[in-house]
Amino acid sequence: MSNREIQELQEGLRSALDAVLAAIDGISEQEAHEVPAPGEWTVAQVLAHIVEIQTFWVGKAVLIIRENDPQITRTAVENDLRMAAVTDHAQDNLDDLKREMTSVCEEAVATVGEFDPKDLGRPGHREENPMTAGGVIQFLAGHVRTHASQITEARRLIREKR
């Protein structure tokens, strides 16, 4: 493993954030807090979730580096904390959510920059599936990009309702 791989993981996190910021470009406060369809999260809730998952999954990558083959599946308590993070910040204003999301991403990038490249291949497990420390960061970036697409779709649904 090399420093280049660390840089690629960091760039993956940054580009995922950029995708989310592009997806919310020009969104109004009203649109950010409007439910796009029954059972769907608002854009603000998705942004609150993105804040939470960055901290959560980078923490799991750190755990893999520090421990021998840890289980990194969310526990019931961690799931409750996830939902609380979304619920507690569902009404936050858009600027605050963007600032928090960006700040947490910068912290994630800095933490990944502290990884020793040789540790990227250390294993952990998510349920029964092996996952390396580097794989967790790649998964995180992909998950954030998926939420960028979710935001784009939510905005489309909101426009169609109007």
* pLDDT at residue 139, rounded to an integer: 97
Whether the predicted pLDDT of 43 surpasses 80: yes
Binned at pLDDT 50, 70 and 90, residue 1 comes out as: low
Task: Read off the CATH number of the domain in which 151 is found.
Answer: 1.20.120.450
Q: What is the pLDDT of residues 108-117, one digit of tens each?
A: 999 999 999 9
* pLDDT at residue 162, rounded to an integer: 73
Whether the predicted pLDDT of 153 surpasses 70: yes
**Mean pLDDT along residues 29-53:** 96
Q: Which residues pair with 33 in a beta bridge?
A: none
Per the structure, how many domains does the chain have? 1
Q: What is the mean pLDDT of the chain?
A: 96
**Mean pLDDT along residues 98-121:** 97
Whether the predicted pLDDT of 2 surpasses 80: no
Q: What is the pTM of this model?
A: 0.95
Residue 86 domain boundaries: 3-161
Q: What is the pLDDT of residues 5-39, one digit of tens each?
A: 999 999 999 999 999 999 999 999 999 999 999 99
Residue tagged 């904390």 (tokens) = 81
Cβ(82)–Cβ(143) below 8 Å: no
**Mean pLDDT along residues 139-153:** 98
Sequential DSSP letters for 23-87 = HTTT--HHHHTS-SSTTPPPHHHHHHHHHHHHHHHHHHHHHHHHSSS-B-SPPHHHHHHHHHHHH
* pLDDT at residue 161, rounded to an integer: 83
**Mean pLDDT along residues 41-69:** 97
